[in-house]
Amino acid sequence: MWSFSPLSMSLLIGSSVAVPFLSGSGRYGTATNTQATLDETNIKWQPAMSTKGVPFEIGVKSYRDTVHHSCETTANPKGDFGLVVNWPFDKNDDWKSTRNDVQDTAAITRYSLYSSSSPIYDYVLEITNMVDYNYRFYDQTGDSYQINTYEEGDHLVRYNSEKPKVVFITGS
């Protein structure tokens, strides 16, 4: 389990991290679509609670609608990890490829962080993973949102935050 002192979180939250993103295809394969357009008819939402006690929802697309990739890495992606990332909110819902170290360590090939169409939640974080992990995504406020993935594919989180940018992810 990863833990943070107030000092370490303030360093993460207050730091500006320049992150080069891959263009085109990721190390695990090429996505067949370039937008993370949210079709809620095929998503099963489950209520959850953030580490600060704020409600959020976890969404899983039905299997037939999930984009899968073929794994092309030789790294051992199933170890516990903690990675600094820079995943800012974007007004559009375009997919962004993750860095090589995120793909190799966390087995997340792409993400999108955009406005939610929900009347309750402001933001949607959507990821595509290649290995089942218990992920935790930390925003700039230090709050975190857990997704325990049980299959590879697309997974979603709907949440509210004063500072929605994802700055750190863990997995076990």
Q: Are 126 and 112 in contact (CB under 8 A)?
A: yes
Q: Which residues pair with 155 in a beta bridge?
A: 60, 127
The pLDDT tens digits for 121-143 are 999 999 999 999 999 999 999 99
Find tokens 């695990």 and name the residue.
Answer: 28
Q: What angle do CA 112, 23, 83 make, to 5 degrees?
A: 55
Q: Are 91 and 35 in contact (CB under 8 A)?
A: no
- Please give the Cα distance from 78 to 117 (Å, whole number): 34
- Please give the Cα distance from 68 to 28 (Å, whole number): 10
What integer is the mean pLDDT of 41-46? 85
- Report the half-sphere exposure of 121 (CA within 13 A, side-chain side): 23
Residue 81 in this model has a pLDDT that exceeds 70: yes
Q: What is the largest CA-CA distance in the chain?
A: 44
Residue 20 in this model has a pLDDT that exceeds 50: no
Three-state secondary-structure class, residue 32:
coil
The encoded tokens of residue 82 equal 């903690």
The pLDDT tens digits for 82-108 are 999 999 999 888 999 999 999 999 999
- pLDDT above 90 as % of the chain: 58
The residue length of the chain stands at 172
